[in-house]
């Protein structure tokens, strides 16, 4: 609760942005655009993305004490190439990966499990969670996330979508 309040308090209430939830979205409830929950979601998104951008800037241009002591790992890289990414992480801290850990990583990222909830990572198919945003969010919501998070997205090499058709293109 304390952390949530910090995020909400850090949001400037004088700044008006479009509601995060579409009026017809199932999470919007009876209030058009989601009401107060939009305020909290937007405030959290703004604070999280701003903080992430600062952290990534520090990682990309580290002070002397941080050089060689920090490694950024994208979730997508872990899902798409779990063994390679796991070996890089372990190598970074001078450890070797056991066959059991490799098996665990494969099972956690590409096992046979399934969940009807798009962001539930306990499902053993991480590729499903990887692209869940494409069906769970509207194009308007995606554009709003990109507005707030364009800095960390650019630093991590993510492309912005230009149309609703691009959202559905799983090759992007």
pTM over 0.75, yes/no:
no
Higher pLDDT, 171 or 8: 171
**Residue 108 token pair:** 């956690």
Which domain range does residue 145 map to?
5-23+32-168
SS3 125: strand
pLDDT digits (tens, 9 = 90+) for 105-148: 888 787 665 555 555 545 456 777 788 888 888 898 899 889 88
SS3 114: coil
Which helix (H) or strand (E) segment is 37 a member of? helix 36-60
Query: 133: closest CA among 121, 120, 118, 144?
Result: 118
The 10 Å Cβ neighbour count of residue 128 is: 19
pLDDT of residue 44: 80
Separation of alpha carbons 131 and 134, rounded Å: 6
Domains identified in the chain, total number: 1
Q: Mean pLDDT: which of 1-5, 37-41, 119-123, 160-164 is highest?
A: 160-164
């Amino acid at each position: 609760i304390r952390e949530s309040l910090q995020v909400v308090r850090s949001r400037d209430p004088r700044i008006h942005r479009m509601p995060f939830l579409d009026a017809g979205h199932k999470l919007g409830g009876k209030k058009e655009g989601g009401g107060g929950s939009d305020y909290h979601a937007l405030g959290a998104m703004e604070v999280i993305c701003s903080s992430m951008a600062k952290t990534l800037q520090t990682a990309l241009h580290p002070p002397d004490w941080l050089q060689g002591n920090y490694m950024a790992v994208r979730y997508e890289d872990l899902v798409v190439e779990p063994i390679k990414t796991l070996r890089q992480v372990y190598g970074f801290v001078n450890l070797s990966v056991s066959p059991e850990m490799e098996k665990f990583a494969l099972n956690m990222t590409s096992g046979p499990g399934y969940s009807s909830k798009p962001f539930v990572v306990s499902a053993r198919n991480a590729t499903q969670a990887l692209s869940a945003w494409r069906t769970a969010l509207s194009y308007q919501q995606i554009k709003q996330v990109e507005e707030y998070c364009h800095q960390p997205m650019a630093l991590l090499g993510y492309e912005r979508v230009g149309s609703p058709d691009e959202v559905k293109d799983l090759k992007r």
